[in-house]
Amino acid sequence: MAFEWPVRIYWEDTDAGGIVFYANYLKFFERARTEWLRSLGLGQQSLRELTGGMFVVVDAQLRYLKPARLDDELIVTAAVLDCGRACLTIRQQALLKTEQASESGPALLCEGTVRIGWVQADTLRPARIPASLLQTLSRP
- Give the catalytic positions in this structure: 15
Please give the Cα distance from 110 to 39 (Å, whole number).
23
Q: CA 125, CA 114: separation in Å to the nearest integer?
A: 19
The identity of residue 84, as a single letter, is G
Query: Could you give the count of Cα atoms lying within 13 Å of 82 in the half-sphere of its Cβ?
Result: 10
CB within 8 A of 120, min separation 6: which ones?
52, 53, 127
- State in Å, rounded, how far the first CA of the chain is from the last one: 7
